[in-house]
Amino acid sequence: MRIDHTAAIVTGGASGLGAATAAALAKQGAQVFVLDLAAGEAAGETGDTGPGSITYLTADITDGEAVGEAVATAVASGAPLRTVVNCAGIAPSMRVLGKKGVHDLALYAKVVQVNLIGTFTVLALASEAIARTEPDEHGQRGVIVNTASVAAYEGQVGQAAYASSKGGVVGLTLPAARDLAQYGIRVCAIAPGIVETPMLATISEEFRAGLAAGVPFPQRLGRPDEYAQLALAIIEHDYLNGETIRMDGALRMAPR
């Protein structure tokens, strides 16, 4: 599917995976609309966007009304909404039963609310708008790329909430693809391993080197631009649908 002269939505696009993806889509000629709680902070940092553009919208992906307004803004751009990449998420850590007691139930619910229900909210409301666009010559209207994690398969100690939410994203992928097939909308997911994002910026270089040493090959952390590269490949590859693709250097996570 073509990217140029279309509109795209990227959630969590103020930093990390989302920022790299938004920049890559803009350089391919898309009008990109970033949904992020930190959109105001990122708006002044946009560099060369190439032939496309990036518009930052402050929105909470768990707020259906706010998401609907953001989707309407993208539609109002005049370019057909073709692409959605869901990158927004949170990753707190807590054991089911730890030294301080039982896992905070509200925290568990929040992680699922943001990572899974937020992803579904954007997917559902955006797909409604995409379904109203004119299809291309191949009957395609759009593609949605969600972000899972290798934790969906090998959740570590302290990742009960995070792994649950990302496992839900994996489980959502195929039925969503089947539901939206009649509208010419594809759905895939990317399951990254350990990627060099702002979440890792606070840990020591020594600890990061230890994480990289556990990756079979290439023995380093992943990069946000590699996520963006894979997202664009999925968008442009018309026969990829209903699949979750691991991007992890053959990493299989140990218990801790």
The catalytic residues are 162
CA-to-CA distance for 82 and 6, rounded, in angstroms?
6
CA-to-CA distance for 105 and 185, rounded, in angstroms?
36
DSSP 8-state code for residue 242: S
3-state secondary structure of 151: helix
CA dihedral 192, 196, 200, 205 (to 10 degrees): 130
Alpha-carbon distances, residue 106 vs 103, 118, 121, 161, 205 (angstroms): 9, 16, 20, 11, 33
